Amino acid sequence: MATQQRLLSHFADRNGSERQNSGWAELWDTDQSDLWDRGTPSAALIDWVESHPDQLQSLSGLHRPRALVPGCGKGYDVAMLALHGFDVVGLELSPRGAQVATSYAEAELAEPHDYNFGEQNDTPDGGIGSVNIITADFFDKSWSQNEAESSGQKFDLIYDYTFLCALHPDMRQSWAQRMLELLSPSGILICLEFPLFKELHELGPPWPLQGVYWNLLAQGGDGKVDGHNGDISDDAPVSAIGPFVRTSRFKPERSYPNGKGTDMVSIWRRK
């Protein structure tokens, strides 16, 4: 069966968050992470981070910037951000997935692949940050309360790639609410929007997301966009009532081939 079809069939009758969660755990436990694993960190994120050193510095002030990668999978982006000087939390529901991510990050920080870097080609002067892989459900508040207590800080940068599209549409509003809770007041949420090439009526995961980020974050909607109730254009109105402001949206020069040239990067701040 084709990869996309295998993923769809696996989740076909799994409504409700518990059944969704056990679905992901089962895929990890049966070694099926090939269904989504792209084998490298996001080139689009590498390029953005390397070309915005001043903005990143201003996000965090005196402390090392703190990043969160929810649904981190094998942890490619977690290790890459640590190699760019962030203290990073990778969050993974599956204990097996978290184990894989921990080993990957350890190996990568000790001996990084070249694919972690773009033009910059090396770790910045401040040195490598830390990696903390946490096994938890993004929607469960206890992991973040423990985190906030131990670090005293929220996240300066949150990166979402193939996390929102992995969640059932019923969970989208809670996703936006959690992002709001977890981001520091001056922090940024970076989304590599995928998949944008799928028609909105198609099933997931990956669930089609055209117009969904805008609806959830800028318009404060429930994210159940069907092409009629969400503004899916690039020049959507800025006078929106949602909890976030989109500060930029652009087509990255480099992204994964499976985005079919349609991936977009959007950057959000709390209002």
Ligand X SMILES: C[S@@+](CC[C@H](N)C(=O)[O-])C[C@H]1O[C@@H](n2cnc3c(N)ncnc32)[C@H](O)[C@@H]1O
Q: Which of residues 215-254 bind ligand X (CB under 6 A)?
A: none
Question: What are the structure tokens assigned to 165, written together?
Answer: 């599209």
Q: CB 91 → ligand X: shortest distance, Å?
A: 5
Q: Which of residues 11-30 bind ligand X (CB under 6 A)?
A: 21, 24
Say whether residue 161 binds ligand X (CB under 6 A).
Answer: yes
User: Site mask, ligand X, residues 78-117, x = CB under 6 A?
Assistant: -------------xxxx--x--------------------
User: For ligand X, which residue of 71, 129, 242, 259 counts as binding (CB under 6 A)?
Assistant: 71
Cβ neighbours of residue 152 closer than 8 Å, sequence gap 6 or more: none
DSSP codes of every residue in 138-199: TT-HHHHHHHHHHHS--EEEEEEESSGGGS-GGGHHHHHHHHHHHEEEEEEEEEEE---SS-
Task: Please list, residue by residue across 226-251, b when 16 or more beta carbons sit within 10 angstroms of its beta carbon and e when fewer do.
Answer: eeeebbbeeebeeebebbbebeebee
- CB nearer to ligand X: give 179 or 240: 179
Which amino acid appears at position 254 of this protein? R
The answer to whether 62 and 152 have CB atoms below 8 angstroms apart is: no
User: Site mask, ligand X, residues 118-157, x = CB under 6 A?
Assistant: -------------------xxx------------------
Residue 87 DSSP class: E
CA atoms within 13 A on the CB side of 77: 31
Say whether residue 193 binds ligand X (CB under 6 A).
Answer: no
Q: CB 159 → ligand X: shortest distance, Å?
A: 9
- CB nearer to ligand X: give 91 or 216: 91
Question: What are the structure tokens assigned to 10, written together?
Answer: 């696996």
Say whether residue 207 binds ligand X (CB under 6 A).
Answer: no
CA atoms within 13 A on the CB side of 68: 27
Q: CB 125 → ligand X: shortest distance, Å?
A: 29
The answer to whether 217 and 235 have CB atoms below 8 angstroms apart is: no
- CB nearer to ligand X: give 29 or 122: 29
Span near ligand X by CB under 6 A; candidates 65-73, 108-116, 208-216, 229-237: 65-73
The answer to whether 69 and 78 have CB atoms below 8 angstroms apart is: yes
Say whether residue 73 binds ligand X (CB under 6 A).
Answer: yes
- CB nearer to ligand X: give 178 or 219: 178
Say whether residue 259 binds ligand X (CB under 6 A).
Answer: no
What residues make contact with ligand X under the rule CB under 6 A?
A: 21, 24, 36-37, 70-74, 91-94, 97, 137-139, 161-163, 166
